[in-house]
Amino acid sequence: MQKIAVIGAGTMGNGIAHVFAQHGFTVNLVDVSAPALDKALQTITRNLDRQVTKGSITEEVKAGTLANISLQTDLAAGVKDVYLVVEAATENISLKLKIFQDLDQHAPANAILATNTSSISITKIAAATKRPDKVIGMHFMNPVPVMKLVEIINGYATDKSITTAIVALSEKLEKVPCVVNDYPGFIANRILMPMINEAICSLFEGVAGVAEIDTVMKLGMAHPMGPLQLADFIGLDVCLSIMQVLHDGFGNPKYAPCPLLVNMVTAGYLGVKSGEGFYKYT
């Protein structure tokens, strides 16, 4: 179980590669963009430096972690001899279906294919492969090196032995696995996103300002970030797409995305990644 591949070198992909490599796994980090891979390695190095400064890891662990990571732009070569693939590409269904068809073709026949999707149906992704019993959701939280949870999502056809293996693997990463079933938003985003959407609706309706809404939730409920700051951190486009998945999947108007969220995404105000959302980032 020592060699794995991570597909996608964005925020989640580099965090997932970091955590596996730090726990002794050999990781092929795969992305079509070579500059994205270089940027990911810089981010991992910066985050490891932060851990060294805090004293939570040594310089030797940092060096070992970096030595465990190989960068790869060719998907077929990156997955050809791995036990597990964790896909963390952009949250776009047609892209993910295509990636899973390719993974099915190029990864070893017994390899487990996991996806870090935050809301796309695991069952639908699994159906794009000839091994739906070996497809599972492995949903890490951002920032991956810090957050303890791995939400493990069983697709309709996921074999129990695969779930057991992924639970054990998550524990090896010093994470806390939680097994749930494949319905829209799973558990994390079925509960988190309506809260964020409600915070945006409260702002939209003029009930309170950005600072007040976030302060109420931070100081009143001991959340580390207020819901509007968290929305900026996650990306407003991601929040909108998850609300749309909940709305379409349950057909219930309580999941309708707030019109302010729709407007902000249309205007390109996506939060931290675009430089402005509910707050400004310089």
Hey, which residues are catalytic here? Answer: 118, 139, 151, 189
Q: How far is the CB of 44 from ligand CAA (least distance, A)?
A: 9
The answer to whether the beta carbons of residues 91 and 237 sit under 8 Å apart is: no
Kindly state the smallest distance separating residue 133's Cβ from ligand CAA, in Å.
Answer: 25
For ligand CAA, which is the closer residue by CB, 108 or 143? 143
Beta carbon nearer to ligand CAA, 96 or 106: 96
Task: Kindly list the residues in this chain that would bind ligand CAA in the complex (CB under 6 A).
Answer: 47, 50-51, 54, 56, 118, 141-143, 145-147, 188-189, 224-225, 230, 234
Strands 69-72 and 84-87: unpaired
- When the beta carbons of 7 and 188 are compared against ligand CAA, the nearer one is 188
Tokens encoding 240: 């909108």
Both tokens assigned to 245 = 């998945």
For residue 51, the minimal CB distance to ligand CAA (Å) is 6
Give the residue nearest to ligand CAA (CB): 118
Q: What is the 3-state secondary structure (H, E, C) of the chain?
A: CCEEEEECCCHHHHHHHHHHHHCCCEEEEECCCHHHHHHHHHHHHHHHHHHHHHCCCCHHHHHHHHHCEEEECCHHHHHCCCCEEEECCCCCHHHHHHHHHHHHHHCCCCCEEEECCCCCCHHHHHCCCCCHHHEEEEEECCCCCCCCEEEEEECCCCCHHHHHHHHHHHHHCCCEEEEEECCCCCCHHHHHHHHHHHHHHHHHCCCCCHHHHHHHHHHHHCCCCCHHHHHHHHCHHHHHHHHHHHHHHHCCHHHCCCHHHHHHHHCCCCEHHHCECCCECC
What is the closest distance, in whole angstroms, from the C-beta atom of residue 206 to ligand CAA in the complex? Answer: 26
Smallest distance from ligand CAA to CB 178, Å: 13
CA atoms within 13 A on the CB side of 194: 15
Q: What are residue 98's phi and psi, to 5 degrees?
A: -65, -45
Q: Toward ligand CAA, which CB reaches closer, 115 or 118? A: 118
User: Shortest Cβ distance from residue 107 to ligand CAA (Å)?
Assistant: 24
Judged by CB, which is closer to ligand CAA: 111, or 255?
Answer: 255
Kindly tell me which of 65 and 154 has the beta carbon lying closer to ligand CAA: 65
